[in-house]
Structure 1
Amino acid sequence: MPILGLHPSRYPTKPAHFDIEQVIRPNILALQPYRCARDDYSEGILLDANENALGHSIPPPSQANGAVLEAELEHTLDLDLHRYPSPTHDPIKERIAALRGLPGPEYVFLGVGSDEVIDLLMRVCVAPGRERILTTPPTYGMYAVCAQVNDVGVVKVPLELSGVHGEGGEAGRFSLRIPEIKAAIDADPSIKLIFVCSPGNPTGTLIPLSAVRQLLEYAPFKGVVVVDEAYIDFAADGASAAALVAEYANLCVLQTLSKSFGLAAIRLGIALAHPALVQILTNTKAPYNISTPTASLALAALAPPAVDAMRAKVASLVRGRAWLLHALAALPDIGPAIGGNDANFVVVPVLGRAGSELAGQPDTARAQRVAKALAEEQGVVVRFRGHEPGCAGCLRITVGSPEENEAVVERLREVLKSM
């Protein structure tokens, strides 16, 4: 069954064993997507979409009870807020494609945060009640949540932890268990999506592209490998699986403007994939899913000067990450950081007090108390992650400003003394 809206020349040819029509649910392939008004016309006297032709009702600055609107709001009010937004946002896609080294905007899909893309991938690829996804915990919790919402089973192959907290000062590091993942695929042909978080949340683990290639080229797996790269700009250059997208039709790379671009509030998620999969996601998404204010901010954030500013801030946060790791290592009862430290956070275990049963070992109960005391008594909120596989006793600490980094270290020092 042909993919509606995709020209035959855009059909995937590599790898040879991959047939996208065998991956997508038949009802999705047969779907006639909603055709919105702006698909046809976007100029002239627009009386075709039941819009308010008189415009929005927010008063301009001169009528706002004397209040002075900020420049950002003034700019937003100048947008055509009474019109539905573009269904395609091609200028944004063009800038993303150029930024990530892809052939063109047809390799880019935009979602309301990465979570919308995750949900869409499950809905178009995995049959409810019959098929499954594979995750590699500890990992981003929304994969399992979306799976449950969509009545999709989850096969878990935990990351492999090498190194032991507190043993000779060696930090724990995580990696994919490729043989176990392949064995799971062989045992369960119903697996349609593999979710790999890189750098991982909550571990900060960067998965090498060589490992991703092994999954993409494993012929018994007929589904799609999803590499979630929310934190990729905090890793070394050349680490992104976006470099593989033009080569493998069975790859989908997720990115976002929430982290390195500092635009979590605008909810813009990105999928980088072969045009065939992008077209299917486009056919399935809700109409007008990206708002005009979000699109305006995203386009500005992807302009060259703004990208340069983003990279400068990322470099500053990476330096802060190194400082934070060094400072935390000097604290009593804090073990070596785990993971790859390739994101904008660090993960460290709280160890048991000297003389206690867990002295020198990760102490999950103590870590939970420390996190609570930091938030409620010290005004510093960190994330307790001690119940995640391989993360016993761990706190996840976001890299902040230099002043915030110093504050968390000093206040953590005080809390550790008291409990």
Structure 2
Amino acid sequence: MAILGLPPSSTPTRPAHFDIERVIRPNILALHPYRCARDDYSSGILLDANENALGHSIPQSEDDTTLQLNGNSPVDDHILGLDLHRYPDPSHPKIKDCIAKLRCLPSTGHVFLGVGSDEVIDLLMRVCVAPGRERILITPPTYGMYSVCAQVNDVGIVKVNLDLTAEGGEGGERGRFSVRVDEVKKTIDADPSIKLIFLCSPGNPTGTLISLVSIRALLDYEPFKGIVVVDEAYIDFSEPGSSAVSLVAEYANLCVMQTMSKSFGLAAIRLGIAIAQPPLIHILSNTKAPYNISAPTAHLALRALSPTSLSAMREKIETLKASRDKLLSSLHSLKDLGLGRAIGAQDANFIMIPVLARGSSVPDSARAQRVYLALAEEEGVVVRYRGKEVGCSGCLRITVGTEEENVVALGKLKRTLENL
């Protein structure tokens, strides 16, 4: 069954063992997507979509205290000046064009926009995995939303833990948390119901890249007929050339997820990105909600993708990477108070570090949780407790803050470790 609305292609699919029509659920292949009013016309006297022709009623005035966001920031008058009474463009070609250029993609047909990466995760499961019958594979410790979305969609979960001890796995990953490629292959051989493999790179909470060698090994594995999904939320904090986007043109069975939440500093606008070959992008576009990306989100995303904004973003990334190194060194100086060496390869904008039992080199999850609570409730410093994750016993995950925030947080962490 052909993909509705996608012209047939004479270009051979690579790898040869992959057929997207066998991966996508038949009901999705047959789906006739909802036809939006703005799919046909977007200018003129628009009397087709039952919109409020008189527009919104929010005054454009910084003096109006009802327009304060987070208590101190006035609403952007540029946003209030948008045609907020009209439904937004359902496809956002300008944003996709900017992303295609930024990530060196052949065309906008390789880009899908979602309400954060979480919508992309959910859509991939809904279009590929049959509820109650088929499964996804994850590699703990990893991002928790893969499991949450699977449970919501009645999708089974198979787990192959990352290698928690190796200094360099099959793919040559630096540090701990490498993918056990051979074990993943054995699991696939034993369970043909697996349709998606989710890899988080750099990992959350591991902060460690998955090598392109490991990713290729899974993409090329002939018995696996599904899709490898690489979640690159933190990719801009890692070394250049480490993104799996470089493999998209070669592999039809690859989907790379990115986001504007981290390196772009736009977590509040909820814009996620899927990068893949056009057939999968087309399926996701057919299945998404009609107007999933709002006009304010699109407006801010386009501003963030301008040359000036991209230059500023890159400067901030370098600042955060330098701060990460400095913070790492400062955390290691607290070893005598029971703070272990950070684990992972430090490829993201956070550090995961174990709290040890007093007078011991053994991670202590109970003490780590006490430190976490004391920091939040007594010191006003909020980090993330990750001691329940496999391979992360006693660990706290600490995001790299501003220089001032890092100094204050370190001082309070030192005092807390002295007292607990």
TM-score by length of 1: 0.95
State the alpha-carbon separation in 2 of the partners of residues 67 and 223 from structure 1.
48
Deviation at 1:298, TM superposition (A): 0.2
State the alpha-carbon separation in 1 of the partners of residues 74 and 364 from structure 2.
49
Deviation at 1:263, TM superposition (A): 0.2
Instruction: Give a deviation string over 1:90-123, Cα, whole Å, max 9, x none.
Output: 0000000111110011000000000000000000
Question: Which of 287, 294, 298 is the aligned partner of 1:284?
Answer: 287
Q: Which residue of 1 aligns with 2:60?
A: 60
Deviation at 1:406, TM superposition (A): 1.1
Structure 1 contact 37–48 (Cα < 8 Å) conserved: yes
Which of 1 and 2 has higher RCO (CA within 8 Å, sep 6+)?
A: 1
Instruction: Give a deviation string over 1:54-77, Cα, whole Å, max 9, x none.
Output: 111112329958989977521011
The letter of the residue matching 1:148 is Q
Instruction: Give a deviation string over 1:199-257, Cα, whole Å, max 9, x none.
Output: 00001010011110001000100000000000000000001001111111100000000
Where do residues 2-401 of structure 1 align in structure 2 (5 Å cutoff)? Answer: 2-9=2-9, 13-61=13-61, 64=64, 73-162=76-165, 173-331=176-334, 332=336, 333-354=338-359, 359-401=360-402
Deviation at 1:78, TM superposition (A): 1.1
State the alpha-carbon separation in 2 of the partners of residues 74 and 145 from structure 1.
37
Deviation at 1:173, TM superposition (A): 1.3
Structure 2 contact 28–287 (Cα < 8 Å) conserved: yes
SS at match of 1:270: strand
The letter of the residue matching 1:267 is R
Unmatched tracts of structure 1, length 5 or more: 165-170
Unmatched tracts of structure 2, length 5 or more: 168-173
SS at match of 1:317: helix
State the alpha-carbon separation in 1 of the partners of residues 67 and 120 from structure 2.
39
Structure 1 contact 374–411 (Cα < 8 Å) conserved: yes
1:67/1:57 CA distance change after superposition, 3 Å: closer
Structure 1 contact 163–173 (Cα < 8 Å) conserved: yes
TM-score by length of 2: 0.95
SS at match of 1:296: helix
Deviation at 1:172, TM superposition (A): 6.2
1:10/1:117 CA distance change after superposition, 3 Å: farther
Q: Which residue of 1 aligns with 2:170?
A: none
Structure 2 contact 206–343 (Cα < 8 Å) conserved: yes
Structure 1 contact 161–172 (Cα < 8 Å) conserved: no
The letter of the residue matching 1:107 is H
Structure 2 contact 324–349 (Cα < 8 Å) conserved: yes
1:403/1:44 CA distance change after superposition, 3 Å: same
* Percent of pairs with identical residues: 68
Structure 1 contact 173–339 (Cα < 8 Å) conserved: yes
State the alpha-carbon separation in 2 of the partners of residues 144 and 323 from structure 1.
34
The letter of the residue matching 1:320 is S
Structure 1 contact 329–336 (Cα < 8 Å) conserved: yes
State the alpha-carbon separation in 1 of the partners of residues 107 and 385 from structure 2.
41
State the alpha-carbon separation in 2 of the partners of residues 158 and 243 from structure 1.
26
Deviation at 1:279, TM superposition (A): 0.2
Instruction: Give a deviation string over 1:257-278, Cα, whole Å, max 9, x none.
Output: 0000000000000000010000
- Greater displacement, 58-67 / 91-100: 58-67
State the alpha-carbon separation in 1 of the partners of residues 407 and 5 from structure 2.
54
1:414/1:85 CA distance change after superposition, 3 Å: same
The letter of the residue matching 1:230 is A
1:137/1:67 CA distance change after superposition, 3 Å: closer
Deviation at 1:368, TM superposition (A): 0.4
1:161/1:65 CA distance change after superposition, 3 Å: closer
State the alpha-carbon separation in 2 of the partners of residues 178 and 67 from structure 1.
52
State the alpha-carbon separation in 1 of the partners of residues 236 and 270 from structure 2.
18
1:271/1:156 CA distance change after superposition, 3 Å: same
State the alpha-carbon separation in 1 of the partners of residues 142 and 291 from structure 2.
30
1:197/1:66 CA distance change after superposition, 3 Å: closer
Moved beyond 6 Å, runs of 4+: 65-71
Instruction: Give a deviation string over 1:360-386, Cα, whole Å, max 9, x none.
Output: 110010000000000111110000000
Instruction: Give a deviation string over 1:385-410, Cα, whole Å, max 9, x none.
Output: 00100000000000001111111211
SS at match of 1:98: helix
State the alpha-carbon separation in 1 of the partners of residues 5 and 282 from structure 2.
7
SS at match of 2:245: helix
SS at match of 1:219: coil
